[in-house]
């Protein structure tokens, strides 16, 4: 039941947003954790809110925190490093934590680096901070594919 709710939440995020012609969509797999291990998926859309793009994700926690986190992040590219293919970016957005006994809501703040790879792929390394009743900190990586 939790998995279906998460997928529906991701699909509901996209409609009605503005897009840009040269921005692409990316889909990727995520993994990481500090206290508990998680696996997830992330979709970086071409939908824009001013200078930010929509980047929702779903993380499936394993271990002590057996929960699903639905992240509704906006991403801001902060510092492209010339001639390296690396961009430092930040993300912020609400997080809904779906656990067996109760559901919690919080705010996620992320600082990360996007390393451009060949053939439309990129590696993202991020440090996520949770405010509210969600995990305090996560360290993770994502392999993204442009389509």
Cα–Cα dist 142/24, whole Å: 17
By the 8 A CB rule, do 69 and 134 touch?
yes
Q: In this structure, what token pair is assigned to residue 38?
A: 């998680």
Confidence of residue 23 (pLDDT cuts 50, 70, 90): low
pLDDT in tens, 60-99: 998 767 889 999 999 999 999 999 999 999 999 999 999 8
User: What is the overall mean pLDDT for the chain?
Assistant: 85
Cβ atoms of residues 56 and 40 within 8 Å: no
Q: How much is the pTM?
A: 0.80
Domain ranges of the chain: 2-14+24-146
Pairing assessment for the beta strands 18-19 and 37-44 based on DSSP bridges: unpaired
Q: Which percentage of the chain shows pLDDT scores above 90?
A: 66
Residue closest to 138 by CA, chosen among 98, 101, 95: 95
**Among candidates 129, 116, 123, 117, which has minimal Cα distance to 141?**
123
Q: Which CATH architecture describes the domain 2-14+24-146?
A: Beta Barrel (2.40)
The angle at the Cα of 7, spanning 9 to 11, to the nearest 5 degrees, equals: 55
């Amino acid at each position: 039941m939790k998995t279906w709710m998460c997928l529906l939440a991701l699909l509901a995020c996209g409609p009605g947003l503005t897009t840009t012609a040269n921005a692409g969509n990316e889909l990727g797999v995520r993994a990481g954790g500090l206290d508990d291990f998680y696996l997830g998926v992330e979709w970086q859309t071409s939908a824009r809110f001013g200078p930010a793009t929509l980047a929702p994700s779903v993380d499936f926690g394993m271990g002590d925190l057996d929960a699903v986190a639905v992240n509704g992040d906006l991403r801001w590219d902060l510092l492209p490093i010339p001639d390296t293919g690396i961009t430092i970016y930040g993300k912020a957005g609400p997080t809904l934590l779906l656990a067996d006994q109760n559901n919690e809501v919080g705010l996620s703040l992320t600082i990360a680096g996007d390393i451009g790879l060949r053939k439309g792929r990129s590696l993202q390394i991020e440090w996520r901070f949770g405010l509210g009743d969600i995990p305090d900190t996560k360290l993770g990586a994502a392999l993204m594919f442009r389509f």
